[in-house]
Structure 1
Amino acid sequence: MGDRWQVEVDRGVCIGSGMCVSSAPGGFTLDTARQSHPTEPETDANDDVLAAAEGCPVEAISIRRSGGGAVVFPPEEPGA
């Protein structure tokens, strides 16, 4: 069984660029206010969702391993 991720978008930071939808069309949607939402709050680990998080111009997307696990993205700062 592979890793499961919890995906969150900080809508206070999201600028609605839509890059996440382009990178992971099945993983994110934009609402009528152009705010991003994960399609599902928990998903199988996959490269498209990670690419969307890495490509977000304002780093509004965070990913953790399910069950309160380790941070996948954004990487934690050393010494934090």
Structure 2
Amino acid sequence: MTRGADTELVVVRVDRDRCIGSGMCALSAPDSLALGADGLAAPLADFADGGAELTDGLTEAVDCCPVEALTLHSARGGYRIDPAD
């Protein structure tokens, strides 16, 4: 995959104290998030560390989390993207 200079790369952070394992995030963004063996949300591959491209499904996953356990951050700058502060 070729990434353009203007592509927004994001990492997903999961507040494991808040996550209740509803699975809404994994349904909305199955290429980005999954429920781990402990039943809690976990970012997949690049979304955990180096950053991957922001998708509509990922934004939807963050927005539909019933306990607001997910946040998106810029992989380059570290600032919070979604939900807005």
TM over 0.5: yes
Alpha-carbon distance in structure 2 between the residues aligned to 1:69 and 1:8: 11
Question: Could you state the TM-score of these two structures normalised by the residue count of structure 2?
Answer: 0.82
TM score, norm. by length of structure 1: 0.87
Unmatched runs of 5 consecutive residues or more in structure 1: none
Structure 2 gaps of 5+ residues are: none
Structure 1 equivalent of residue 77 of structure 2? 68
SS of equivalent to 2:73: strand
RMSD: 1.1
3-state SS, counterpart of residue 84 of structure 2: coil
Give the equivalent residue in structure 2 for 1:10: 15
Could you list the runs of 4 or more consecutive aligned residues of structure 1 that deviate by over 3 angstroms after TM superposition? none
- 1:32 corresponding residue in structure 2: 37
Is 1:45 the equivalent of 2:50?
no
